[in-house]
Structure 1
């Protein structure tokens, strides 16, 4: 999953501004681009569950591929609290699913003229509530 998400970071950096301007509902754009990019998982025999019920919440994406499961929580960076809220949310989902590792994907919504790509593209793995969370920012 790491390799796939790093490839998506590069794709998003190179192509997102051109594609995102075409969406009427701007907030859905980053989510739709990621799901389209992940189509290769389905083509390879995997499954992608969108908005899957987990306890009292819904995880954005649960991916099943090669006998493994991956939880991805997607957030737009509207407020500084988006990262912390996302960490808390994915930790709850992982706990409910009996999993220890997940991915928090954070999309910067300000244009690159305001927040440069050099500062927005990040990759960090940390421990949060006894879960290993990889934070992928773009």
Structure 2
């Protein structure tokens, strides 16, 4: 019997595009890790117009205003995600790809996005470099009530590996807005966790 996900997964492992490391599915090398997300979200990038203008998010000192950028994405996501997510075969990858497309459109104007993706875990780590600054983003799907706590622990560990103390935890609700309306799911909170400053961004 054909298993769409497992057979596709086995195929790309055999091709050497991804690999299994301790039950985490990761890209086989940095080139694939950079190119594949770009290909997957290329059409999304093309359709992000005004909101993707780099200059909107640059402070007077030339630094990136990450808070403003992520708040703009919250608005964009609430207005567009349900239409866009229907276009993905694997819909749980959609929220991550939408955010990466949005970020790529903006960051292309002078920065770099480093991705650490583990297929099937519902999480992605992003390290964004822009004009001398670094920003850490942990992307996580809200599959379980424990997603927030696990996400906080995960981003804290990731920040430790980078020697940093500030990051953003991005939580995507997977239930439709008919169950959890946008008015209650879009949230922004600055908290302290394990001696780190974490901004929790929910949508």
Q: What TM-score, normalized to structure 2? A: 0.63
- Aligned match of 2:81: 16
- Aligned match of 1:42: 107
The partner residue of 1:25 within 78, 86, 90 is 90
Q: Quick check: 1:91 aligned with 2:161?
A: no
Q: Count residues in correspondence.
A: 133
Asked if structure 2 preserves the Cα contact closer than 8 Å seen for 1:41 and 1:47, the reply is: no
Asked if structure 1 preserves the Cα contact closer than 8 Å seen for 2:189 and 2:201, the reply is: yes
Asked if structure 1 preserves the Cα contact closer than 8 Å seen for 2:116 and 2:126, the reply is: yes
> Secondary structure of 1:38's match?
helix
Flag the structure with higher helix content. Answer: 2
- Aligned match of 1:5: 70
Deviation >3 Å, runs of 4+: none
Q: Hey, what's the Cα distance between the residues in 1 that align with 2:132 and 2:124? A: 19
Q: Hey, what's the Cα distance between the residues in 1 that align with 2:191 and 2:99? A: 22
Flag the structure with higher strand content. Answer: 1
Which 5+ residue runs of structure 1 have no aligned equivalent? 53-57
> Secondary structure of 2:188's match?
strand
> Secondary structure of 2:172's match?
strand
Q: What TM-score, normalized to structure 1? A: 0.93
* Deviating more after overlay: 37-46 vs 13-22: 37-46
Q: Quick check: 1:73 aligned with 2:119?
A: no
Higher relative contact order (CA 8 A, sep 6+): 1
